[in-house]
Amino acid sequence: MEKKKVEDMSEYLIPRFVINTGGERIGETIGMDGQRVILKKDSNFYSVPVSVLDERHGELIIEKDLDWEKAKILGERWRKKSFIVGKV
């Protein structure tokens, strides 16, 4: 399988599903925060470094170990600064 390293997320800014090596969907891209990609799964937000993403056959894949607890904390921090609840 041909694989390419993800270095520039600008071509991936359309929401895309992210899968693990087993092919299981682990979230959907919804934004960027510097060199981190924001994923949403159910009602949770995760902030993961671009460096853990690879692309294969048009799919984004996380093949590296990731501290999901830290990713969730950073994702929640991003959500709080990005969304102002109750403001129109």
* Residue ranges of domains in the chain, CATH in brackets: 4-82 (3.10.20.840)
d(CA 63, CA 54): 7
Percent of the chain past pLDDT 90, that is, above it, reads 48
CA quadruple 55, 56, 62, 64: dihedral sign: negative
Name, of 4-13, 45-54, 56-65, 79-88, the range with top average pLDDT.
Answer: 45-54
Dig out the tokens for 60 from the structure. Answer: 């984004």
Number of other residues whose CB lies within 10 A of the CB of residue 6: 17
Q: What does the pLDDT look like over 3-40, one tens digit per residue?
A: 666 665 555 567 889 999 899 999 999 988 889 999 99
Better-scored residue on pLDDT, 47 or 6: 47
Band the pLDDT of 88: cuts 50, 70, 90. Answer: very low
Dig out the tokens for 73 from the structure. Answer: 């904390």
